[in-house]
């Protein structure tokens, strides 16, 4: 347990996932360290290079030569931000872990406030996005559609949520040790664990360097993971579709019977076409929804590690295990 009588003794880990951030990572590290140095706590910075192609890891390693607080690890390919975050959490040795982006969109200036909340006894401090004025219309629309869908269906409030968080060691241990899930939705899990939680609002400023790293496909993948891992509500949509079909069928049946009693010919062809098309699409949608859950189960059952590490720099264990360069995610602590 953390003892606040000696705040000097606690260690705080800052975990920064980075994918092709070579351009801005040096500046970001500098800014973050300036704040951390001022705060007076002992800290380590862990940059998790998520399979960058632009020399992000090399940049971090070069900076690390004269900067003992800086540690880096490189994943063997782009596993995605969720995996990179997990890798960072697993490598972190701090009494608290702060997760933040490498593009300074999560203002380092908020860290002292987070630390103060932690000191008050909060186990999770969420950074809450106030607005996204800096992003363009399309990005904003995408983010709000994504959030709306998740909060309506997922039953978790993800509106304005971000990956800028402080987690106490207790929570980090729950997430890395007690949750066997391979595909995670960090934002949701940090809320799910419970404990004392609080949030601090911040404004999202424009990216300092480079471009956003999310492709549309990656965003959909994240949405699907978030939904499927947090709720079975979409499965209920299948039942609702069934009920809608039933109601529709009853109306058509009544109409058909009525025409038959009156001795009129039923307008058969178009009815059949419409019925077939509606039924067909309902069945396809239902299969898709069920399929998502089966896919999720399949992914989990395969039990592959969520990420692989090819290189690490600056960690104590590395000197001990020099040469042991290739290791599966969960084994690293």
When CB distances are held under 5 to 8 angstroms depending on the partner's kind, the choice from ligand UDP, Mg ion, none that residue 17 binds is ligand UDP
| Dihedral angle of Cα 49, 53, 58, 60, to the nearest 10 degrees | -40
CA atoms within 13 A on the CB side of 113: 15
Give the residue, chosen from 80, 127, 154, 314, that forms a contact with ligand UDP under the rule CB under 6 A. Answer: 80
With contacts defined by CB under 6 A, name the span among 17-25, 60-68, 282-290, 323-331 that binds ligand UDP.
17-25
Helices marked H in 155-200 — which ranges? 169-173, 186-192
- The residues that bridge with 16 in the sheet, in sequence order, are 47
Tell me which residues in 230-289 interact with ligand UDP (CB under 6 A): none
With contacts defined by CB under 6 A, name the span among 3-11, 59-67, 73-81, 226-234 that binds ligand UDP.
73-81
Tell me which residues in 88-147 interact with Mg ion (CB under 5 A): 101, 103, 105
The least CB distance from residue 324 to ligand UDP, in Å, is: 24
Instruction: Write down how long the chain is.
Output: 333
When CB distances are held under 5 to 8 angstroms depending on the partner's kind, the choice from ligand UDP, Mg ion, none that residue 18 binds is ligand UDP
When CB distances are held under 5 to 8 angstroms depending on the partner's kind, the choice from Mg ion, ligand UDP, none that residue 21 binds is ligand UDP
Six token digits for residue 182: 């391979």
With contacts defined by CB under 6 A, name the span among 34-42, 100-108, 109-117, 274-282 that binds ligand UDP.
100-108
The least CB distance from residue 219 to ligand UDP, in Å, is: 9
143 phi, psi to nearest 5 deg:
-65, -40
CA neighbor of 98 nearest in space, from 29, 169, 152:
169
Give the residue, chosen from 13, 21, 44, 189, that forms a contact with ligand UDP under the rule CB under 6 A. Answer: 21
The least CB distance from residue 106 to Mg ion, in Å, is: 8
Is residue 24 within 8 Å of residue 103, measured between CB atoms?
yes
Residue 50 sits in the site that holds ligand UDP (CB under 6 A)? yes
With contacts defined by CB under 6 A, name the span among 95-103, 263-271, 272-280, 311-319 that binds ligand UDP.
95-103
The least CB distance from residue 238 to ligand UDP, in Å, is: 31
Give the residue, chosen from 15, 102, 156, 174, that forms a contact with ligand UDP under the rule CB under 6 A. Answer: 102
The C-alpha angle 202, 206, 208, rounded to 5 degrees, equals: 115
When CB distances are held under 5 to 8 angstroms depending on the partner's kind, the choice from Mg ion, ligand UDP, none that residue 84 binds is ligand UDP
- How would you classify the pairing of strands 42-49 and 11-18? parallel
Burial class (CB in 10 A: 0-12, 13-18, 19+), 165: buried
- The residues that bridge with 176 in the sheet, in sequence order, are none
Q: What is the DSSP string of 226-260?
A: HHHHH--HHHHHHHHHHHHHHHHHHHHHHHHHHHH
Count of Cβ atoms closer than 10 Å to residue 188 Cβ = 21
CA neighbor of 21 nearest in space, from 61, 56, 70:
56
CA neighbor of 96 nearest in space, from 72, 69, 125:
125
When CB distances are held under 5 to 8 angstroms depending on the partner's kind, the choice from ligand UDP, Mg ion, none that residue 282 binds is none
When CB distances are held under 5 to 8 angstroms depending on the partner's kind, the choice from Mg ion, ligand UDP, none that residue 214 binds is ligand UDP
The least CB distance from residue 14 to ligand UDP, in Å, is: 12
Residues binding ligand UDP (CB under 6 A): 17-19, 21, 50, 78, 80-81, 84, 101-103, 105, 212-214
Residues binding Mg ion (CB under 5 A): 101, 103, 105
């Amino acid at each position: 347990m953390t003892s606040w009588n000696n705040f000097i003794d606690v260690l705080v880990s800052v975990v920064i996932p980075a994918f092709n951030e070579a351009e801005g990572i040096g500046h970001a590290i500098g800014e973050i360290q300036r704040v951390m140095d001022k705060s007076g706590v002992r800290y380590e910075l862990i940059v998790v290079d998520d399979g960058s192609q632009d020399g992000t890891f090399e940049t971090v390693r070069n900076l690390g030569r004269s900067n003992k607080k800086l540690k880096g690890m490189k994943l063997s390919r782009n596993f995605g931000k969720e995996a990179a975050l997990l890798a960072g959490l697993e490598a972190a040795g701090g009494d608290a872990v702060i997760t933040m982006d490498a593009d300074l969109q999560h203002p380092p200036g908020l860290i002292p406030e987070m630390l103060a909340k932690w000191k008050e006894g909060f186990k999770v401090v969420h950074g809450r996005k106030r607005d996204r004025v800096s992003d363009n219309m399309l990005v904003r629309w995408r983010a709000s559609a994504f959030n709306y869908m998740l909060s309506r269906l997922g039953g978790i409030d993800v509106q304005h949520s971000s990956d800028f968080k402080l987690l106490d060691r207790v929570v980090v241990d729950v997430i890395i040790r007690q949750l066997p899930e391979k595909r995670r939705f960090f934002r949701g899990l940090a809320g799910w664990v419970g404990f004392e939680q609080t949030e601090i609002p911040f404004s999202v400023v424009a990216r300092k360097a480079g471009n956003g790293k999310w492709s549309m496909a990656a965003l959909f993948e994240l949405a699907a993971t978030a939904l499927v891992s947090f709720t079975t509500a979409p499965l209920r949509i299948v039942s609702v579709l069934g009920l809608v079909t039933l109601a529709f069928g009853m109306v058509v049946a009544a109409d058909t019977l009525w025409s038959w009693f009156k001795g009129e010919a039923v307008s058969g062809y178009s009815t059949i076409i419409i019925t077939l098309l509606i039924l067909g699409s309902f069945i396809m949608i239902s299969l898709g929804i069920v399929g998502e859950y089966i896919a999720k189960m399949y992914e989990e059952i395969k039990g592959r590690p969520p990420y692989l590490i090819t290189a690490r720099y600056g960690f104590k264990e590395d000197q001990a295990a020099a040469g042991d360069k290739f290791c599966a995610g969960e084994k690293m602590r």
